């Protein structure tokens, strides 16, 4: 049984992390911080926790980190990088769900986030927390940087193709959609039900901060630089990410179905659908699962991959718990066996 702290508990990622940690057989939650809601009971802010949680929010300044074996950051970017170095120095492991340590290249990070990085020395050390790619490195990490939600769906989708060198790396396209919970628990006009409901629109076409993260990861898989065109859309629903991926195949013939099935054969949280089926986000709602399918329409040279996750689970909190399990030597599926809520 380990003790964990959660920094940043009032967002959707925070409450989702709580949902998983409160039922995890090997974890005790020591504290969960919030500046604005300090001393308020969690089940008052989140009535879904009624009966499941007696904690109140702790002011971050008063949190007793030394009581923890591991600390999660479920904060906006720019918080973890200012607090992680001290924790690591004390020997506390960190799983960061924010964007602060996802990019190895500090310069790229600073360009996309428009500020100076507060802990550049840790950027190279941080292990990118995509277990299907980095399981071994995660095992011994001091700091895990969990992938973003889009990057999880997109990288798991392209992974077999790029590792096998089967597609042109400079003509990748990802047309993705996310439920509104990806926009966070913030009072914004664009996220109102009246604005976002019964409608779809793209956003951030000129440039989204997940792009450099994806190109970094895809480039590592391909062992060469890649170019990705990434268009995210806001979908009229709460949870779920759907990635539709396009790539130009460079081989005469390839059994893509078998390629995908083999690559993910041992993975507890990735399912490859039968040929001809299409994954739906409803089938992964609330579960730490990625479902994939691959097709080559009309037998032409464009491969299409469809990949779905729950943005708050495999795209955030669930993946963070999965990384924690690996770090702690727990069974990788511990606390993550929940079956998707469909319908």
Residues serving a catalytic function are: 149
Burial 182-219 (b: 16+ CB within 10 A, else e): bbebeeeeebeeeebeeeeeeeeeeebbbbbbbbbbbb
**Window 70-99: residues binding its own copies (CB under 8 A):** none
Report whether 143 contacts 122 (CB < 8 A): yes
Q: Assess 246 for contact with its own copies (CB under 8 A).
A: yes
**Window 118-157: residues binding its own copies (CB under 8 A):** none
Nearer to its own copies, 61 or 189 (CB): 189
Within 3-145, where are the H helices? 12-21, 42-45, 80-89, 106-113, 120-123, 131-139
Shortest distance, position 278 Cβ to its own copies, whole Å: 5
Q: Assess 194 for contact with its own copies (CB under 8 A).
A: yes
Choose one: 11-19, 74-82, 154-162, 314-322; the region binding its own copies (CB under 8 A): 11-19
Q: Assess 315 for contact with its own copies (CB under 8 A).
A: no
- H or E, element range at 306: strand 302-309
Choose one: 77-85, 92-100, 167-175, 323-331; the region binding its own copies (CB under 8 A): 167-175
CA gap 73, 316 in Å, rounded: 11
CA gap 302, 141 in Å, rounded: 38
Report whether 272 contacts 266 (CB < 8 A): no
Shortest distance, position 171 Cβ to its own copies, whole Å: 7
Q: Assess 164 for contact with its own copies (CB under 8 A).
A: no
Shortest distance, position 280 Cβ to its own copies, whole Å: 4
Choose one: 1-9, 73-81, 89-97, 275-283; the region binding its own copies (CB under 8 A): 275-283
Report whether 320 contacts 267 (CB < 8 A): no
Q: Assess 306 for contact with its own copies (CB under 8 A).
A: yes
Q: Assess 6 for contact with its own copies (CB under 8 A).
A: no
Q: Assess 196 for contact with its own copies (CB under 8 A).
A: yes
Q: Assess 218 for contact with its own copies (CB under 8 A).
A: no
Shortest distance, position 163 Cβ to its own copies, whole Å: 22
Number of residues that bind its own copies (CB under 8 A): 92
Of the candidates 282, 328, 331, 334, which one interacts with its own copies according to CB under 8 A?
Answer: 282
Exposed (0-12), middle (13-18) or buried (19+): which is 266, by Cβ within 10 Å? exposed
**Window 34-53: residues binding its own copies (CB under 8 A):** 44, 46-52
Of the candidates 40, 202, 224, 251, which one interacts with its own copies according to CB under 8 A?
Answer: 202
Of the candidates 78, 171, 220, 257, which one interacts with its own copies according to CB under 8 A?
Answer: 171
Q: How far is CA 31 from CA 6, 9, 326, in A?
A: 6, 10, 22
Choose one: 60-68, 137-145, 189-197, 217-225; the region binding its own copies (CB under 8 A): 189-197
Burial 10-39 (b: 16+ CB within 10 A, else e): bbbbbbbbbbbbbebebbebbbbbbeebee
CA gap 55, 53 in Å, rounded: 6
CA gap 265, 123 in Å, rounded: 31
Q: Assess 2 for contact with its own copies (CB under 8 A).
A: no
Q: Assess 266 for contact with its own copies (CB under 8 A).
A: no
Nearer to its own copies, 116 or 199 (CB): 199
């Amino acid at each position: 049984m380990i003790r964990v702290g959660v920094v940043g508990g009032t967002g959707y990622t925070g409450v989702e992390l709580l949902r998983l940690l409160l039922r995890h057989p090997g974890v005790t939650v020591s504290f969960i911080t919030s500046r604005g809601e300090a001393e308020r009971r969690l089940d008052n802010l989140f009535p879904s926790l009624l009966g499941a949680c007696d904690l109140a929010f702790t002011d971050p300044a008063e949190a007793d980190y030394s009581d923890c074996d591991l600390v999660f950051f479920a904060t906006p970017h720019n918080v973890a990088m200012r607090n992680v170095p001290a924790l690591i120095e004390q020997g506390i492991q960190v799983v960061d769900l924010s964007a602060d340590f996802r990019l190895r290249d500090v310069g790229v990070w600073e360009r996309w986030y428009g500020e100076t990085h507060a802990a550049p020395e840790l950027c190279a050390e941080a292990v990118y927390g995509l277990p299907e790619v980095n399981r071994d490195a995660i095992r011994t990490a001091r700091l895990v940087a969990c992938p973003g939600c889009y990057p999880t769906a997109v990288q798991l989708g392209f992974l077999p193709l790029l590792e096998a060198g089967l597609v042109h790396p400079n003509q990748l396209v990802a047309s993705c959609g996310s439920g509104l919970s990806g926009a966070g628990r913030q009072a914004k006009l664009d996220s109102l039900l009246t604005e976002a409901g019964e409608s779809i629109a793209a956003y951030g076409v000129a440039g989204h901060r997940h792009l450099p993260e994806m190109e970094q990861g895809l480039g590592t898989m391909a062992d060469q630089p890649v170019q990705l065109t990434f268009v995210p859309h806001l979908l009229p629903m709460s949870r779920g990410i759907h990635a539709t991926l396009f790539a130009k195949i460079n081989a005469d013939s390839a059994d893509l179905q078998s390629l995908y099935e083999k690559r993910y054969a041992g993975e507890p949280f990735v399912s490859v659908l039968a040929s001809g089926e299409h994954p739906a986000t409803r089938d992964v709602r609330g579960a730490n699962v990625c479902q994939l399918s691959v097709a080559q329409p009309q037998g032409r040279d464009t491969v299409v991959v469809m990949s779905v996750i729950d943005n708050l689970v495999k795209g955030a909190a669930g993946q963070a718990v999965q990384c924690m399990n690996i770090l702690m030597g727990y069974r990788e599926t511990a606390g993550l066996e929940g079956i998707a809520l469909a319908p």
